[in-house]
Amino acid sequence: SQQGEEDPQALSIQEGENATMNCSYKTSINNLQWYRQNSGRGLVHLILIRSNEREKHSGRLRVTLDTSKKSSSLLITASRAADTASYFCATAGGETSGSRLTFGEGTQLTVNP
């Protein structure tokens, strides 16, 4: 079963706009990671945020983590048509769950030129 739920399931914006995707999870985590998947292709690692971090930046990406609410958000600023893809959050859990990743259901982002 999926650990997380992503919101929205689909998002359509114009080039240059910002895109925000949210992820909620259920159990305690060690870290949360965001991945991008172009249609039917492999997953590309975007960013990892640890449970003791609240915000992280990488280029046009900004990730926040609120462990009290068990939620995270991914913000893509100044979006481009090439950002069109599915975005997944994945959690790595506590001691007993090893280093496996538990994925959310993903947000399909479409950036219109």
Partner 1 sequence: DSGVTQTPKHLITATGQRVTLRCSPRSGDLSVYWYQQSLDQGLQFLIQYYNGEERAKGNILERFSAQQFPDLHSELNLSSLELGDSALYFCASSFGLAKTEQFFGPGTRLTVL
Q: How far is CA 18 from the centre of its chain?
A: 15
**Dist. CA 91–CA 31, nearest whole Å:** 6
- For partner 1, the binding residue among 20, 31, 67, 73 (CB under 8 A) is 31
Q: Measured from the CB atom, is 99 or 113 closer to partner 1?
A: 99
- For partner 1, the binding residue among 9, 10, 17, 41 (CB under 8 A) is 41
CA R_g for the chain: 13
Q: Measured from the CB atom, is 19 or 29 closer to partner 1?
A: 29
**Dist. CA 83–CA 73, nearest whole Å:** 16
- For partner 1, the binding residue among 102, 107, 109, 111 (CB under 8 A) is 102
- For partner 1, the binding residue among 39, 40, 59, 113 (CB under 8 A) is 40
- The yes or no reply on residue 106 touching partner 1 (CB under 8 A) is yes
**Dist. CA 76–CA 28, nearest whole Å:** 26
**Whether the Cβ atoms of residue 35 and residue 42 lie closer than 8 Å to each other:** no
In the complex, the residues that contact partner 1 under the rule CB under 8 A are 2, 30-31, 33, 35, 40-45, 48, 88, 90, 92, 97-106
